[in-house]
């Protein structure tokens, strides 16, 4: 029988360790208890909605209405994704933007373009073009330099491309898609969107250059009010004297080229370069303003293009050859013609051999 004292199984260290263990576990359980008390799952309201959600999954599987109404509220949620507005899954104003764009702005803009186009066609059918009263002299005056014509036509054709691609982006789905089908329509829209995005900055450069090029001759003069009063003689067919550009052209210059030009350019850049941390709200407002002002710009351009092609005999020739007959200058831009004849102002410098006079019309 050994004399060694049987070793007590509970040495001080062991007791301490077990005691510490017990304390630690009870502390853990207590804190878990406390945490459980404070966790949302146990707040009454949350518990109720969690239960309702569970019941709903049984009665209406996948119906997460509470989740979606919270998401649709637009209230910021929690997300790991960094960046502006990343914690807003659905922005409610987006619905308003879509409704305004699809059922108001684009519809009114579309009909306004159709109505103005038809009104111009009806006016042409009723009154015909503005013709000269006197015969041509055969003597020509240089009206535009090569640079003025080049910047004009670069701006003109970029504008026309922007207008057509913009119309396809806005109305294509409702008008073209039913006519040409999905394949062709998707190609056309992708092409239009890219053309619009890439030609946009070029158009802005053109606007700046055409503004600088023509601003000097677009200063408003007293006699321009007289032109406005007589609507430029469009109805009476009696010519109203004007300077190098008449009040209608000056209105197109300041209202179209400058004001509408600035607004479509700024909003266009906001839309074209969405990488400056713009909010969805900013993009929506820029889109609505861009669409509305671009529509007004196109409406005004219809008038300018009509006068620059069918509406006034000899006008197109002025901007395509740079030369006008003296009779044309006298009847349509009398004060400009007088100043040239008096030697007060020079004609546009002859940077190309004179073009033979126009055939009588």
Report the alpha-carbon distance of residue 45 to residue 47 in Å, rounded: 5
Q: Are 348 and 145 in contact (CB under 8 A)?
A: yes
Q: Judged by CB, which is closer to ligand HEM: 309, or 352? A: 309
Asked whether position 289 contacts ligand HEM by CB under 6 A, the answer is no
Q: Strands 323-325 and 140-142: what pairing?
A: antiparallel
Asked whether position 264 contacts ligand HEM by CB under 6 A, the answer is no
Asked whether position 130 contacts ligand HEM by CB under 6 A, the answer is no
Q: Judged by CB, which is closer to ligand HEM: 172, or 256? A: 256
Contact residue for ligand HEM among 130, 141, 142, 152 (CB under 6 A): 152
Shortest CB 134 distance to ligand HEM, Å: 18
Contact residue for ligand HEM among 300, 305, 310, 334 (CB under 6 A): 305
Give buried/exposed letters for 189-222 (b at 16+ CB in 10 A, else e): beebeebbeebbeebbebbbbbbebbeeebeeee
Number of residues in contact with ligand HEM, rule: CB under 6 A?
A: 25
Q: Taking the CA of residue 191 as centre, how many other CA atoms within 13 Å lie in the half-sphere pointing to its CB? A: 10
Report the alpha-carbon distance of residue 115 to residue 24 in Å, rounded: 83
Query: Contacts with ligand HEM in 158-217 (CB under 6 A)?
Result: 159-160, 210, 214
Nearest Cα to 330, choosing from 144, 136, 149? 136
Report CA-CA distances (Å) from 330 to 324, 340, 346. 10, 10, 15
Shortest CB 225 distance to ligand HEM, Å: 17
Q: Judged by CB, which is closer to ligand HEM: 97, or 297? A: 297
Q: Which stretch binds ligand HEM (CB under 6 A): 33-41, 192-200, 284-292, 297-305?
A: 297-305
Asked whether position 300 contacts ligand HEM by CB under 6 A, the answer is no
Asked whether position 132 contacts ligand HEM by CB under 6 A, the answer is no
Which single residue is written with the structure tokens 């000056």?
250
Q: Which stretch binds ligand HEM (CB under 6 A): 82-90, 152-160, 182-190, 280-288?
A: 152-160
Shortest CB 107 distance to ligand HEM, Å: 24
Q: Which residue is nearest to ligand HEM (CB)?
A: 308
Q: Are 214 and 151 in contact (CB under 8 A)?
A: no
Q: Taking the CA of residue 271 as centre, how many other CA atoms within 13 Å lie in the half-sphere pointing to its CB? A: 22
What are residue 325's DSSP bridge partners? 140
Q: Are 137 and 360 in contact (CB under 8 A)?
A: no
Q: Judged by CB, which is closer to ligand HEM: 97, or 167? A: 167
Q: Are 153 and 318 in contact (CB under 8 A)?
A: no
User: What string of DSSP letters covers 137-189?
Assistant: -S-EEE-S-HHHHHHHHHHHHHHHHHHHHHHHHHHHHHHTHHHHHHHHHHHHH
Q: Which stretch binds ligand HEM (CB under 6 A): 1-9, 63-71, 279-287, 309-317?
A: 309-317
Contact residue for ligand HEM among 106, 155, 165, 321 (CB under 6 A): 155
Q: Judged by CB, which is closer to ligand HEM: 53, or 320? A: 320
Q: Which stretch binds ligand HEM (CB under 6 A): 1-9, 170-178, 301-309, 353-361?
A: 301-309
**Which residues contribute to the site for ligand HEM (CB under 6 A)?**
143, 152, 155-156, 159-160, 210, 214, 218, 245, 249-250, 252-253, 256-257, 301, 304-305, 308-309, 315-316, 318-319
């Amino acid at each position: 029988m050994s004399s060694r004292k049987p070793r007590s199984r509970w040495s001080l260290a062991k007791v301490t360790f077990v005691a510490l263990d017990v304390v630690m576990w009870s502390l853990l359980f207590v804190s878990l208890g406390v945490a459980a008390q404070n966790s949302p799952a146990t707040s009454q309201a949350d518990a109720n909605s969690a239960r309702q959600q569970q019941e709903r999954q049984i009665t209406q599987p996948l119906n997460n209405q509470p989740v979606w109404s919270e998401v649709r509220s637009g209230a910021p949620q929690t997300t790991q994704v960094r960046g502006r507005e990343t914690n807003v899954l659905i922005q409610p104003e987006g619905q308003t933007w879509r409704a305004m764009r699809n059922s108001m702005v684009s519809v009114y803009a579309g009909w306004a373009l159709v109505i103005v186009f038809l009104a111009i066609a009806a006016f042409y059918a009723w009154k015909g073009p503005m013709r000269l009263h006197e015969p041509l002299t055969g003597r020509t005056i240089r009206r535009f330099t090569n640079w003025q014509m080049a910047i004009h036509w670069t701006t003109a054709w970029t504008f026309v491309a922007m207008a057509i691609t913009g119309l396809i982006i806005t109305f294509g789905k409702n008008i073209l898609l039913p006519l040409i089908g999905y394949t062709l329509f998707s190609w056309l829209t992708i092409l239009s969107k890219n053309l619009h995005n890439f030609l946009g900055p070029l158009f802005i450069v053109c606007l700046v250059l055409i503004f600088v090029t023509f601003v000097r001759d677009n200063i408003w003069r007293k006699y321009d009010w007289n032109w406005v009063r007589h609507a430029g003689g469009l109805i009476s067919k009696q010519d109203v004297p004007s300077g190098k550009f008449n009040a209608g052209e000056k209105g197109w210059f300041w209202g179209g080229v400058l004001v509408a030009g600035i607004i479509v350019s700024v909003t266009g850049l906001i839309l074209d370069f969405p990488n400056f941390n713009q909010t969805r709200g900013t993009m929506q407002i820029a889109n609505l303003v861009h669409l509305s002002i671009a529509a007004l710009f196109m409406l005004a351009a219809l008038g300018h293009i009509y006068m620059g092609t069918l509406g006034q005999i000899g006008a197109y020739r002025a901007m395509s050859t740079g030369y006008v007959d003296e009779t044309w200058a006298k009847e349509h831009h009398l004060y400009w013609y007088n100043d040239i004849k008096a030697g007060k102002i020079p004609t546009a410098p002859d940077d190309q051999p004179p073009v033979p006079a126009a055939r009588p019309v």
